[in-house]
Structure 1
Amino acid sequence: MAVNETVIAMLRPKPDLKLLTGEPAEAVDAARAVAGAPPGVGTIGSYWTEIPLLITGT
């Protein structure tokens, strides 16, 4: 389950700060930190770890 949660967190869009009116200050600060972060950590495809291996006979 932790893997699923991590992938969802990486792919989640940045929060809309206009929707945080009336929320606790801690939540607003956390959302601002996420909204101001550099663009994501890449696409799911960038985590591909398998590569084709050349197989030659002898």
Structure 2
Amino acid sequence: MQPRSRWSRVGWIAGLTLRLSTGWATPRQQDQTVTLRLSGKDESVLVGEFEVK
């Protein structure tokens, strides 16, 4: 069985959607969604860095 991916490609359009959560599974949970559209087939973007403690 081939692994499945959530990525779809239409021509050369590519995008990235991230959902970031803090305080996960607690009453203090906060979510943020970031969506980026890449403009070219060879483009790469540093979305960010995070530290888990």
Structure (1 or 2) with the greater strand fraction: 2
Fold shared by both chains (TM-score > 0.5): no
TM-score by length of 2: 0.19
TM-score by length of 1: 0.18
- Structure having greater relative contact order (Cα 8 Å, sep ≥ 6): 1
Structure (1 or 2) with the greater helix fraction: 1
